Amino acid sequence: MTFEEIQKQAKSDWDSLYHGEVPHILIGTATCGRAAGALPVVEAFNKELATRNAQAKVTEVGCIGLCSLEPLVTIIKPGSFTVCYNSVTPQVVSTLVEGYVLGDDPCLELALGTVEGGEGEAVYIPELSKFEHELRLILRNCGYINPGNINHYIVNGGYNGLAKALKMEPMAIIEEVKKSGLRGRGGAGFPTGIKWELCRQASSEIKYVICNADEGDPGAFMDRVVLESDPQQVIEGMIVAGYAVGARDGFIYIRAEYPLAIERLKVALEQAEKLGLLGDSILGSDFSFHIKIAQGAGAFVSGAETALMMAIEGKRSMPRPRPPYPVESGLWGKPTLLNNVKTYAYVPLILSHGAEWFSSMGSEGSKGTAVFALAGKMVNTGLAEVAMGTTLQELIFDIGGGIWGGKQFKAVQIGGPSGGCLPQSMLDTPVDFDSLREAGAIMGSGGVIAMDEGNCMVDAAKFFLDFTQKESCGKCTTCRLGTKQMLDILEDVTAGRGRIEDVDLLVELAEDVRDGSLCGLGRTAPNPVLTTIRYFRDEYEAHILEKRCPALVCKELIAYYILPDKCERGCEHCVLGCPVEAITTNEKGIKVIDQTKCTKCGSCELVCPPEYNAVVRLSPPSLVPSSQVKESDGVIPEEK
């Protein structure tokens, strides 16, 4: 088939669904949708439509980035407007089928809003603050097309870039990528065109192209969403890369924790091969390219390029010194081009729309858009794509909707375990490679985690360091031992055993670890510690000097206490909810916590009915009135 024929066939497939005669129901079933219960909703729709013998089609789509509102269902109705419903449960499915699929009632009380052709008072979704502030390039199809149907991708401009590329000289493609200003989205921001050129110049019969889908940052999920929602763009980008650098084989290295993404990739590869877009003699040309999937086995360091190649070769994935760079000597010693999932995803767009189009977006040194995973204490947790240079303020407040539960913003952690924590005063920092680095954080993987007044910055630093320390492969002494020593100090600080000299010692150790480590893991591991010291030194000091955790998080520095005048007395929630029977009732009927038994699990605070709110945390623990520390006189154990 020629590409034109493929496009034509795709269009008729698409039109029959999206512009057909019968209603079309889109249900988001990416991992986030599934976690929120999307699959039972799909089942309920299928059943309801069957029992009512209703003419309608159901399509499973990916994630549009509103993870906190999943399961999301969109009903496209011929001759009427399109409505999107959030937090759908199987129980409301029959209402929706009866109301809007069969009838004329759009059930707006259940809807998030309308998508096309608004209706009076209903919210018009594209005008929601989130979407107004976003600029969607690689997320444009996510949640809209069926990731399991290549035709949907093709209709929306897919494989145009490849068709165009195959008519170009490889060097011309590389020039175009260079001109676009695209920088790698895997964290370091290396100029993509230059990497491609270096790989092209390496002389070897055999070369490899690898897609890094290891996404090891424990709080980032952009690559997962892209692969689950629109995998073809990544495949297309890899094929173009293979043609440009002169490789015939590609690997996608993907973490095993992403079973759905792996499944969808497999389907996507099969479909591309069937249409002759992948495999031998692509689109009738003399260029052949094959892609295999390699599954990661859960090691953060495997995401580092030289370590990743060791993992594919079946070895312990430890980074090695560079040079030689992978573009000269990579997988099995052959020149290897390695890019992140999103980097490849931009390539087809750059080729079809041109380098100028791409470089017209973004900021001075960082062109195009960036995709972020918004998590933590934000209202709209999920995914967002914004022009490079957008400020953190816009990202967290206009798109993320601000802090959840009316709490106060405290810090944003950006870039994962290699990144940093930035305070309120840094919220006008633009998100691009250079500005973030200056602020002490990094673009990194793209995980953005908001923290509120209830999060302890020392605890957060300890969390990240605990992660990198465990994930250190152990090759470099400074990384292996330095991170351990830093972690020990942080343990001491959070346990109230810290000394004031420890803060400077941490900074000193951090510099040693940074300078003495081979790969990015060690070189960036100190960032969370350094930024929290830089911006939240007062919290370290409170832990050390006052034995107090201002956020009331660090277990050793807090005590749970039941406020006598708030305790309802008759209610037994905390007594029953305490797993270690540390709560008793005194002669006045007031509940009292035996501090010597309390394990600080927090159950009592959670089960105390909100109208009483009698359980509080105190720090330092010495604030608990001394008469209550132990079962003393006057406190009688609860009657059996």
Partner 1 sequence: MEELKQQLAEILTPDRKDRSQLIPILQQIQGKLGYLSPEAMLAVAEFVEIPGSTVYGIATFYNQFRFTPLGKHPVKVCMGTACHLAGGKLVLEAMARELDIEVSGITPDHDFSLDRVACIGCCALAPVVVIDDSVYPRMTPPKVEEVLVSVKPASQEQSEKQ
Judged by the rule CB under 6 A, the positions of this chain that interact with ligand FES are 218-219
The pairing of beta strand 111-116 with beta strand 336-340: unpaired
Least distance (Å) from ligand FMN to the CB of residue 320? 12
Are 290 and 10 in contact by the 8 Å Cβ rule? The answer is no
H/E stretch holding 451: strand 447-452
For 83, phi then psi, to 5°, come to: -120, 140
CB 181 within 8 A of CB 367: yes
Minimum gap (Å) between residue 217 Cβ and ligand FMN: 7
How far is the C-alpha of 312 from the C-alpha of 224, rounded, in Å? Answer: 20
Specify the stretch interacting with partner 1 by CB under 8 A; choose among 28-36, 179-187, 189-197, 626-634.
28-36
- Count CB neighbours of 360 within 10 A: 13
HSE on the CB side for 354, CA within 13 Å?
A: 3
Closest CA to 125 of 71, 80, 59, 66: 66
Instruction: Tell me if 342 sits within 8 A of 371, measured CB to CB.
Output: yes
Using rule CB under 6 A, residue 519 touches ligand FMN: yes
For 216, other C-beta atoms within 10 Å of its C-beta total 22
> Is there binding between residue 338 and ligand FMN (CB under 6 A)?
yes
Applying CB under 8 A, which part among 18-26, 163-171, 373-381, 502-510 lies near partner 1? 373-381
**Binds 595: which of ligand FES, partner 1, ligand FMN, none (CB < 5-8 Å by kind):** none
Question: Which tokens hold the place of 306?
Answer: 């030289």
Q: Does 284 bind partner 1 (CB under 8 A)?
A: no
Q: CB atoms < 10 A from the CB of 393, how many?
A: 16
- The footprint of partner 1 on residues 433-472 (CB under 8 A) is 447, 449, 451, 455, 460, 463-464, 467
How many residues form the binding site for partner 1 (CB under 8 A)?
A: 59
- Least Å distance between CB 65 and ligand FMN? 20
Contact set for ligand FMN, span 288-307 (CB under 6 A): 300-301, 303-305
Pick from ligand FES, partner 1, ligand FMN, none: which does 280 bind, CB < 5 to 8 A by kind?
none
CA distance 39 to 478: 48
Could you tell me if 74 and 26 are in contact, meaning their C-beta atoms sit under 8 angstroms apart? yes
- Tell me which residue has its CB nearest to ligand FES: 219
Is 313 a residue that touches partner 1 (CB under 8 A)? yes
Question: Does 343 contact ligand FMN by CB under 6 A?
Answer: yes
CB closer to ligand FMN out of 23 and 326: 326
User: Least separation, in Å, of the C-beta of 576 and ligand FMN?
Assistant: 45
Give the separation between CA 200 and CA 243, rounded to whole angstroms.
10
Q: Which does 405 bind (CB under 5 to 8 A by kind): ligand FES, partner 1, ligand FMN, none?
A: none
Q: Which of 257, 273, 453, 491 binds partner 1 (CB under 8 A)?
A: 257
Question: Is residue 400 within 8 Å of residue 509, measured between CB atoms?
Answer: no
Among 139, 162, 220, 244, binds partner 1 (CB under 8 A): 220
The distance of closest approach from Cβ of residue 58 to partner 1 in the complex, given in angstroms and rounded to an integer, is 22
* Cβ–Cβ under 8 Å, residues 476 and 572: no
Quote the CA–CA distance of 438 and 419 in Å, as a whole number: 12
Which residues between 593 and 632 bind partner 1 (CB under 8 A)?
A: 599, 601-603, 606-607
**CB half-sphere exposure, 637, CA atoms < 13 A:** 5
- Among ligand FMN, ligand FES, partner 1, none, the one that 519 touches (CB under a kind-dependent 5 to 8 A) is ligand FMN
Minimum CB separation of residue 361 from partner 1 in Å reads: 27
**Cα–Cα distance, 544 to 554 (Å, whole number):** 12
Gap between the Cα atoms of 137 and 290, Å rounded: 26
Identity at 474, one-letter amino acid code: G
Query: How far is it, in rounded angstroms, from Cα 358 to Cα 349?
Result: 8
Alpha-carbon span 304 to 126, nearest angstrom: 38
| Close Cβ partners of 541 (under 8 Å, ≥ 6 residues apart) | 500, 503
Task: Find residue 114's DSSP bridge partners.
Answer: 83, 124
Instruction: Tell me whether residue 240 or residue 283 sits nearer to ligand FMN (CB atom).
Output: 240
By CB under 8 A, the residues from 541 to 580 that bind partner 1 are 577, 579
Task: Report CA dihedral (522, 527, 530, 534) to the nearest 10 degrees.
Answer: 170
Please say which residue, 28 or 319, places its beta carbon nearer to ligand FES: 28
Binding mask 386-425 for partner 1 (x = CB under 8 A): ---------------------------x--x---------
Looking only at residues 209 through 248 of this chain, which bind ligand FMN when binding is defined by CB under 6 A? 212, 214-216
Q: Which of 520, 526, 528, 621 binds ligand FMN (CB under 6 A)?
A: 520
Q: Which residues bind partner 1 (CB under 8 A)?
A: 31-32, 34-36, 67-68, 70, 216-221, 224-225, 256-258, 294-300, 302, 311-317, 373, 375-377, 381-382, 413, 416, 447, 449, 451, 455, 460, 463-464, 467, 473, 577, 579, 599, 601-603, 606-607
Instruction: List contacts with ligand FMN (CB under 6 A).
Output: 184-188, 190, 212, 214-216, 300-301, 303-305, 338-340, 343, 519-521
